[in-house]
Amino acid sequence: MTGAPEPIRSKLRELPAKPGCYLFRDETGRIVYVGKAKDLRRRVRSYFSSRMKGESPKRRGMVKSFADLEWIVVRNDAEALLTEGRLIAEHRPFYNTALRDDKRYLALRAWTHLDCPRFSECRIVRDDGDEYFGPFPSSGVVHTVRDFVERRWGLRKCDAARPDAETHRHCLDDRIAKCSAPCIGAIAPADYRARFEAACGFLRHGDPAVLQGLGEEMAAAAAEQRFEKAGEIRDTIDAIRRMTEERARAKTPPAIDRELARKGCAQLAQALRLPAPPRVIEGFDISHLGGLFTVASMVACVDGVTTPQRYRHFLIKSVEGIDDPASIAEAVSRRYRRLLDEKRPLPDLVMLDGGITQLRAARAALERLGLGSLPTVGLAERFEILVVDWPDGVGELVLPTDSEAMKVMIRLRDEAHRFAITFNRNKRLKRIRTSALDEIEGVGPATKTALLKRFGSLKRIADATPAQVAAVRGVSAALAETIVDTARRNVRNAVPTNRV
């Protein structure tokens, strides 16, 4: 393994021969490639074998950028596949392209915005107001579970936006008792939607009673020697259990080596001249769109491991325009004034995503609260440099990016960045979906509710024609044109958030 850099070479010997995911970082500490393997030891070592000489220049260049290595051990191939997709979606590594948008896996979409909702399968999960289940690594699981919930709750399979008698004339599902036929009024709209919500609830949380009933049906079919039917039910039970397990695992973040995280905290204490390893570290970041929708995030880690239940976010109220230091100062002031008022414990270390200006603003806010002794550090992203307020003045501290101390800091900084951007995006989307309609003269609460119930989101209103919008009760042809124009203008201006 002579081609591997020293930080990686020392870890190759520790790699287990088990299924899992591996993450390569470059010299700046950024994750540049994520992969999965049935045998971590064999797969990772192959990147630095003599066989790489026959690979393409692009692949050799990728391997040359690898400076450090991490891995996560999982139980099986399916879990490795899910974990790989989740890591790629979260970190968006430069050399991973195929999985950045989860296009490889199948998901189940619940078209909740339709008057007569339905399920469909898809490979791209969008932020469009509908609910998605997945993606899952096994397409067979998705097919089987979708078929089961549609049959059990009598849901339609047709893809018409508004099924009617003409749709029913070409459909056999009602005749073979698979569909409750809302298109011809065989079931009331409210009752049909209640069935659909029950199916969604089952997909979210599962239901032991349903599985028990299926088990009894399978046993009865086997007793009657209807073995093909029993096999179908068995496959359905297996698919439901697999979907439930995969969904639960997808919500579980990759495990962090707690012993290494504690080691990182000990290294931080030594580097920052702290009296003891910082057990609780809180990190702040700012996100906005050109000075608008400014928000702050506060994330935390305990013993070096991120702890989401401690996370907080702040709407910045006192700052206009682009002023990250002032925004940081407001968030820090509000956070620690509240802790003081409630007589709750303070963190052992405060981290800011930024350099000297953010650090000085935060330190000034803490001084005003009488917390000048609270250790505070900034993490300048460009060169991953710690900016420290020493007793003898502000200085910079450079730690190896492969040190456990920097891994703790970078992990917390990246989490603060993610949490801030997510909150900012959600605020913008909420503003787009509601306030844009509120600004239109002639659109009151009832009309707004009817429009959103019919189309589901401002994006879909923007995609509709004025004639389709005018079909909503209470909307005239002239008002429909105004609504569509306003929706298109607002959606066009809703550019992605960039941190500045």
- Domain positions in the chain: 6-91, 106-250, 258-423, 439-493
- What pLDDT, in 10s, does the model give residues 366-402? 999 999 999 999 997 666 789 997 777 778 888 887 8
Fold of the domain spanning 6-91:
GIY-YIG endonuclease (3.40.1440)
Which pLDDT score, from 0 to 100, does residue 296 have? 92
Fold of the domain spanning 258-423:
Nucleotidyltransferase; domain 5 (3.30.420)
- What pLDDT, in 10s, does the model give residues 151-190? 888 898 887 778 888 777 767 665 556 788 888 888 888 8
Asked whether residue 424 carries a pLDDT value surpassing 90, the answer given is no
Which pLDDT score, from 0 to 100, does residue 184 have? 82
Rounded Cα gap, residues 382 and 402, in angstroms: 16
Flag the least confident range among 121-125, 432-436, 473-477. 432-436
Asked whether residue 20 carries a pLDDT value surpassing 80, the answer given is yes
Average pLDDT over residues 334-359: 93
Which pLDDT score, from 0 to 100, does residue 2 have? 53
Which pLDDT score, from 0 to 100, does residue 97 have? 62
Residue of 302, 326, 300 whose CA lies nearest to 313: 300
Report the sign of the C-alpha dihedral through residues 167, 170, 172, 177, in that order: positive
For 45-49, which contacts have Cβ atoms below 8 Å and span 24 or more sequence positions?
45/1, 45/12, 45/15, 47/4, 48/1, 48/2, 48/3, 48/4, 48/8, 48/12, 49/1
What Rg do the C-alpha atoms of the chain give, in angstroms?
A: 27
- What pLDDT, in 10s, does the model give residues 115-130? 889 999 887 777 667 8
**pTM check: above 0.75:** no
What tokens appear for 103 in the block?
Answer: 């296009």
Name the more confident of 347 and 474: 347
Which pLDDT score, from 0 to 100, does residue 263 have? 93
Average pLDDT over residues 415-444: 73
- What pLDDT, in 10s, does the model give residues 67-96? 889 888 887 776 787 778 778 877 788 887
Q: Does domain 439-493 have CATH number 1.10.357.140?
A: no
Q: Please provide the average confidence, as pLDDT, over all residues in the chain.
A: 82
Percent of the chain with pLDDT over 70: 86
Average pLDDT over residues 459-476: 89
What tokens appear for 415 in the block?
Answer: 């989490």
